[in-house]
Amino acid sequence: MNKPIIIQSPDKKRRAALTILGKTQSGHDYYSLSIEGISVSLENRVFGRECMWSHDSRFLSIQEWKENDKITGPKAYLLLVFDLLTKRECIVAEVEGAKSQIIPEGFIGESLMYTVIHDGQFGTTRNFESKFQYLTGWQTLK
């Protein structure tokens, strides 16, 4: 059995653990997620390895895979942000999964910086900033 990948928060008060669930035919690993100190059920959800804490340890951003297929991979990638102070989560962005990726790059104040990569013949890479105060669709963690 594989050991979980532990991502320690900067203040050392929380840990996120990624436990491998499998590998797509193209070689990408996918994981389950648990967050220490948060009694939230993340069962039946699949995540990528792209995971990052904010400097103040309040926010955790991670890539979630939607409708994962063991051969082709996810149908879409979501970029999530968890607010561990208010115990909420929100979708920051979404891209189709076949030939795309969405990756958290860093936190600056109340913003999340992220990159969207579209592969293929005319592939593109674009950087974005999402300010938390303008996000809609926050859901309470259960």
Pair of tokens at residue 56: 């103040």
pTM: 0.88
| Domain, as residue range, for 12 | 5-100
Burial class (CB in 10 A: 0-12, 13-18, 19+), 27: exposed
Q: What is the per-residue pLDDT across 90-115, written as a single tens digit (0 to 9) for each?
A: 999 998 876 788 999 999 988 999 99
Q: Looking at the predicted structure, is the pLDDT value of residue 42 above 90?
A: no
Say how many domains are in the chain.
1
- What is the Cα–Cα distance from 106 to 10, expressed in whole angstroms? 13
In a domain, 64, yes or no: yes
pLDDT at position 39 is 65
In a domain, 93, yes or no: yes
In a domain, 61, yes or no: yes
Pair of tokens at residue 110: 């109340």
In a domain, 55, yes or no: yes
In a domain, 113, yes or no: no
In a domain, 46, yes or no: yes
In a domain, 76, yes or no: yes
Task: Give the position of tokens 């804490």.
Answer: 53
In a domain, 29, yes or no: yes
Q: Looking at the predicted structure, is the pLDDT value of residue 85 above 80?
A: yes
